[in-house]
């Protein structure tokens, strides 16, 4: 696995990658990094060429003083995808990364979209816990030895704006093959949101991982990889 960088107009994007034939872009959740996928990588078909991206404001990527809207985050990833000029590609997004992946799917139409316990239609952290969400962020900062608490707060403040939420019409615009994965015990984003996405995204499939919480790629990386491999027909 090699760490590389891409200079987007919003800032430098860091990612881990290895050799393969078919490009798949992996987007992590809020306060995490691309390393969240490394357990899953052990089981992913080696014909897949993964890009385990650190989103802007996270990990080794830049923490620029920008508006961290979902649209800007998606546009930065689209710049990266466009720079590589692949004819076909797929996207995997977890939680907040799923929200960004949904926005990319509307704008760019990947071959496959795989969502894992995805945000985008549920209340944000700052909406659900308006009085304590900054303390929750401080805990994330301590747990992950995070370097820029203000970037995380910026992301939460901006994305509680209702205009960033995906509407039913947005979801119905998605035409690519879509797979939705959800942990049965997710206490962060209730499984009802996965079922709602499944109802609104045409021809999507919903897989429930029994016993898993909000990050099933930690608990069942083998199962997540199996679904990814099967979806991509590897």
The CATH number of residue 114's host domain is 3.40.50.1820
Q: Is the dihedral of CA 4, 13, 98, 119 positive or negative?
A: positive
The overall average pLDDT reported for the chain is: 87
Torsion angle in degrees (nearest 10) through CA of 49, 54, 56, 58: 170
| Mean pLDDT, residues 213-230 | 95
CB 55 within 8 Å of CB 100 = yes
At residue 161, the pLDDT reads: 57
Element (H, E) at 139: helix 133-143
Q: Mean pLDDT: which of 3-7, 29-33, 150-154, 214-218 is highest? A: 3-7
Burial of 63-102, coded b for 16+ CB within 10 Å and e otherwise, reads bbebebbbebbbbbbbebbeeeeeeebbbbbbbbbbbbbb
Confidence of residue 196 (pLDDT cuts 50, 70, 90): very high
CA nearest to 124, candidates 69, 47, 46: 69
Range from 12-16, 68-72, 101-105 carrying the lowest mean pLDDT: 68-72
d(CA 119, CA 116): 9
Residues 6+ apart with CB under 8 A from 79: 6, 8, 9
Q: What is the pTM of this model?
A: 0.87
CA nearest to 209, candidates 228, 48, 30, 123: 228
CA nearest to 46, candidates 15, 1, 78: 1
At residue 24, the pLDDT reads: 99
- Residues 63, 65, 71: CA angle, nearest 5 degrees: 85
At residue 136, the pLDDT reads: 47
Q: Which domain holds residue 36?
A: 2-231
Question: Tens digit of pLDDT for each residue in 24-75?
Answer: 999 998 888 999 999 999 999 999 999 999 999 899 999 888 888 899 999 9
| Mean pLDDT, residues 69-88 | 95
pLDDT for residue 19 is more than 60 = yes
d(CA 105, CA 91): 8
The total of structural domains in the chain comes to: 1
pLDDT for residue 211 is more than 70 = yes
Question: Tens digit of pLDDT for each residue in 115-162?
Answer: 999 988 865 544 554 555 455 445 544 444 445 555 555 666 555 655
């Amino acid at each position: 696995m090699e760490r590389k960088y891409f200079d987007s107009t919003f800032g430098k994007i860091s990612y881990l990658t290895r050799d393969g034939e078919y490009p798949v872009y992996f987007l992590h959740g809020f306060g995490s990094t691309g390393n969240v996928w490394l357990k899953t990588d052990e089981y992913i078909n080696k014909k897949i060429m993964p890009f385990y991206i650190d989103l802007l404001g996270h990990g080794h990527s830049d923490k620029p003083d920008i508006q961290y809207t979902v649209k800007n985050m998606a546009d930065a990833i689209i710049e990266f995808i466009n720079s590589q000029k692949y004819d076909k590609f797929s996207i995997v997004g977890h939680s907040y990364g799923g929200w960004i992946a949904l926005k990319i799917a509307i704008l760019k139409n990947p071959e496959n979209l795989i969502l894992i316990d995805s945000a985008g239609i549920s209340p944000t952290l700052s909406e659900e816990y308006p009085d304590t969400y900054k303390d929750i962020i401080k805990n994330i900062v301590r747990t992950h030895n995070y370097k820029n608490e203000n970037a995380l707060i910026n992301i939460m403040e901006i994305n509680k704006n209702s205009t960033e939420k995906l509407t039913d019409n947005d979801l119905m615009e998605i035409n690519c093959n879509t797979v939705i994965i959800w942990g049965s015990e997710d206490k962060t984003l209730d499984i009802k949101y996965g079922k709602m996405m499944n109802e609104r995204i045409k021809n999507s499939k919903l897989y429930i991982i029994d016993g898993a919480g909000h990050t099933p790629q930690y608990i069942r990386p083998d199962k997540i990889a199996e679904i990814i491999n099967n979806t991509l027909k590897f």
